[in-house]
Amino acid sequence: MSIFNEAKTDPRAARKLAVAIVFLQTLLGAIAQILLKNGTLQQKGDGMADIVIAIFSNSHMFAGYALYGVSALLMIAALKYGELSILYPIIAMTYVWVTILSVFIYAETVSLLKFVGLTSIVTGVAVLGLSSHSRQ
């Protein structure tokens, strides 16, 4: 039995599938942000027309927006199997992934306050996950 078929009949399997899909969505969202950042570093001009042209002529920007599209489709799929009040906050994990990638790719630094903020996000997502288990 496929995981999708199991999710149709087992609410617990459905929740696990939905969380896994949204987790994947957060990773793709973070990669999309990095691609958009790379695209802006290559972009010439700052006007709105320059940005629109860059979306279609700059491969990093195009790929970043394409990944956002895939990310949106994944969220739609996840919503079929899970609760919005649990899934939507997980999207905040995108901030965590973007920060980690930014440290490695752009040599950005993480201040103590940023670290506390990221820790709060991870803790909040974990608490929401625990609260969903307590209702089973």
The pLDDT assigned to 78 comes to 93
The average pLDDT across 46-70 equals: 91
State pTM to two decimals. 0.85
Q: Please give the radius of gyration of the chain, using alpha carbons only, rounded to the nearest integer.
A: 18
Alpha helices in 84-111 (DSSP H): 84-90, 93-106
Residues in CB range of 10: below 8 A, 6 or more apart: none
Q: What whole-number distance in Å separates Cα of residue 9 and Cα of residue 116?
A: 40
Helix or strand (DSSP H, E) at 45: none
Instruction: For residue range 84-102, list pLDDT tens digits in order.
Output: 888 888 898 999 999 999 9
Structural domains in the chain (count): 1
Provide the residue range defining the domain that includes 67.
3-134
pLDDT value at residue 86: 85
- Reported as a single tens digit per residue, the pLDDT across 1-25 is 577 778 778 888 888 899 999 999 9
* The token pair that represents 124 in the structure block: 């909040």
